[in-house]
């Protein structure tokens, strides 16, 4: 499971071990590791999660927090000797929706830049479409946007993994 | 991923690309394509989805709408030179439950006819059992029925695919 | 799909056929079959499910019901000529949470004993992390605990299967 200098997409459920798996890919690459956190510390629960992630990764990672301008940060950071972990796309999507951005446009922008980086990028996201249809309209919209985003990113990525119970299943590449 | 002249079952999450994948199987087959929509246009959201599906498929498909008598339509339409796309089983199940049909009987009828067609049939359905147990009793019943229906159809099908992020994973065949 | 004399983990959705698949593994092993039910008959719905499970397995199985002390029962029962089916870990987790046990400690205890048995053990569990984030705080905690438990058990198991629509997908082993 060597990391290619092209986009890798890691999809999995909540607490599936998808971030750890993605971190392992980057650490094994020998490239300079950058952690791009898209989550905002809205509440204590989220702050605790971000802290746990930092603790697990240790000191050799550079951490950047960016809720919205994922494309801009990737263009600046994903250079020759670096590998960037984007954790995660569903939080980025949440932020875009909260900020009333146009999701199709943002998805298209991301997908367009993915193949252009000199460095490696690993994008992590939550699969959210395998439960009962949510009663809440916004939740239905969210899972529709997430599903379309995942299809677009998977199509643009060189490698795609589905992670369950900490175990990766290669879907592409 | 050639289409066999036997039943193919395509299971996936919401917005997973399962319908597009199924359409691709049928278009690559060279058979006359029939789209069997089981969804009723209950509301604007559903009408919009049906219109999007029609637009994507283009003019070479024949479209039939049938909410309940899936078996009857398949027996009539799934003939020698045709490939029928059933989109989707979970909407059919919803309609059966709304009409207070006996789900076990209807499942058994469908499974019994699947191996008898001269034409090809591709059945698409939503996996709904991988989230938290729903609080709503009807939603719990629905996912129980869906799970049993999926097991029965998968057992009767020659090929089964699980689709995530637009990527197919072959489970059988 | 032969059963090893080491832990096997079977993960799947609701009504995915995971218990039937696990039962088949044990019946094909020729070992003396023990069914360890972790579910409590809280209500009629659960009592009906337990009865259906018993009916399907037939008379050759020994059935034990234990909601909390999974480790103790496994240590006592999982001996040389036996294969124990644990059905299921998510119900055990529910019972632990209801009894305000420390989940990390209980998970660590289970994982520590898994490689020590002379007999075979097959642990079944529900994947619950692939839907929309639940609004209910307890449901979010539950799926976090379940995800961590699944990662730990999968790491300790010799074989891991993911079951969908009655079809097993080997993830490990």
3-state secondary structure string across chain C: CCCCCCEEEEEECCCCCHHHHHHHHHHHHCCEEEEEECCCCCCHHHHHHHHHHHHHHCCCCEEEECCCCHHHHHHHHCCCCEEEEEECHHHHHHHHHHCCCCHHHHHHHHHHHHHHCCCEEEEEEECCCCCCCCCCHHHHHHHHHHHHHHHHHHHHCCEEEEEECCEEEEEEC
Q: Is residue A96, in this structure, part of any structural domain at all? A: yes
Residue B7 annotated in ligand binding? no
pTM (two decimals): 0.94
Question: Range with the lowest mean pLDDT among A61-65, A146-150, A152-156, B98-102?
Answer: A61-65
Q: For B100-105, what is the mean pLDDT?
A: 97
What tens digit of pLDDT does each residue of A109-154 get? 999 999 999 999 999 999 999 999 999 999 999 999 999 999 999 9
* Within-domain flag for A1: no
| pLDDT attached to residue B105 | 97
**What percent of chain A shows pLDDT beyond 70?**
94
Residue B2 lies in a domain: no
- Write out pLDDT tens, residues C58-89: 778 999 999 999 999 999 999 989 999 999 99
pLDDT at B26 exceeding the cut of 60? yes
**Whether pLDDT at C54 is above 80:** no
- At C115, list the tokens: 């490689």
**Residue A76 contacts by C-beta under 8 Å, 6 or more apart in sequence?**
none
User: Is B166 inside any structural domain?
Assistant: yes
**Which pLDDT does position C2 carry in this prediction?**
61
pLDDT at C53: 72
What are A17-50's pLDDT values in tens digits?
999 999 999 999 999 999 999 987 666 666 776 7
Report if residue B1 sits inside a domain. Answer: no
User: In the prediction, which pLDDT does B169 show?
Assistant: 97
pLDDT at B1 over 60: no
Q: What average pLDDT score do residues B102-108 get?
A: 97
Closest partner residue to C130 (CB to CB) among B131, B154, B172 is B131
Query: Is B48 annotated as contributing to ligand binding?
Result: no
Given a contact cutoff of 8 angstroms between Cβ atoms, the answer to whether A15 and C143 are in contact is yes
Nearest to A13 among C9, C129, C154 (CB): C129
Mean pLDDT of chain C: 92
Q: Given C10, C26, C53, C168, which residue is catalytic?
A: C53
Task: Decide if pLDDT at B107 tops 70.
Answer: yes
Mutation site for C-interface testing, chosen from B8, B141, B147, B159 by largest number of C Cβ within 10 Å:
B147
Mean pLDDT over B147-157 rounds to 98
For residue B15, give the nearest of A131, A148, A160 by CB distance.
A148
- pLDDT tens-place string over residues A1-22: 567 668 999 999 999 999 999 9
Supply the range of the domain harboring residue B142: 7-172
- CA-CA distance, A163 to C13, in Å (whole number)? 15
pLDDT at B166 over 90: yes
pLDDT at site C59: 75
| % residues pLDDT > 90 (chain B) | 83
Residue C1 placed within a domain: no
Q: What pLDDT sits at residue B117?
A: 93
**Which sign does the torsion angle of CA A161, A163, A166, A168 carry?**
negative
CA–CA gap between residue B16 and residue A130 (Å, rounded): 9
Q: What is the mean pLDDT of residues B89-94?
A: 96
pLDDT digits (tens, 9 = 90+) for C33-44: 999 999 876 666
- C43 annotated as belonging to a binding site for a ligand: no
Structure token digits, residue C34: 């023990």
CA of B146 vs chain C CAs: smallest distance (Å) = 8
pLDDT of C118: 92
CATH number at residue C129: 3.40.50.300
Q: What is the mean pLDDT of chain B?
A: 92
pLDDT value, residue C45: 66
pLDDT mean over A93-116 = 96
Q: Considering its fold, how many domains does chain A have in total? A: 1
Residues whose CB falls within 8 Å of the CB of residue A47, separated by 6 or more in sequence, listed in order: A41
Chosen for mutation from C145, C147, C148 (greatest number of chain A CBs closer than 10 Å) is C147
**Chains in contact with C, where contact requires at least 3 CB pairs less than 8 Å apart:** A, B
Residue B11 touches chain C, beta carbons under 8 Å: yes
Asked if the structure places residue B83 within a domain, the reply is yes
Average pLDDT rounded to a whole number, residues A48-69 = 83
Q: Could you tell me if residue A121 is inside a domain?
A: yes
pLDDT band, very low/low/confident/very high, at A52 (cuts 50, 70, 90)? confident
Least Cα separation, residue A34 to chain C (angstroms): 25
**Residue C145, pLDDT score:** 97
- Whether residue B51 lies within 8 A of chain C, CB to CB, comes out as no
């Amino acid at each position: 499971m060597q990391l290619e200098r092209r986009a890798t997409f890691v999809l999995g459920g909540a607490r599936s071990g998808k971030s750890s798996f993605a971190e392992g890919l980057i650490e094994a690459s020998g490239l300079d590791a950058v952690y791009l956190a898209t989550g905002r510390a809205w509440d204590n629960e989220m702050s605790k999660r971000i802290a746990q992630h930092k603790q697990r990764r240790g000191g050799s990672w550079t951490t950047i927090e960016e809720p919205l301008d994922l494309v801009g940060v990737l263009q600046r950071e994903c250079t020759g000797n670096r590998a960037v972990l984007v954790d995660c796309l569903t939080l980025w999507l949440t932020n875009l929706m909260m900020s009333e951005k146009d999701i199709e446009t943002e998805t298209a922008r991301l997908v367009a830049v993915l193949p252009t980086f000199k460095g490696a990028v690993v994008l992590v996201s939550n699969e959210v479409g395998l439960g009962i249809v949510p009663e809440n309209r916004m939740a239905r919209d969210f899972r529709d946007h997430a599903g379309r985003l995942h299809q677009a990113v998977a199509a643009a990525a060189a490698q795609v993994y589905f992670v369950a119970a900490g175990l990766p299943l290669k879907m592409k590449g």
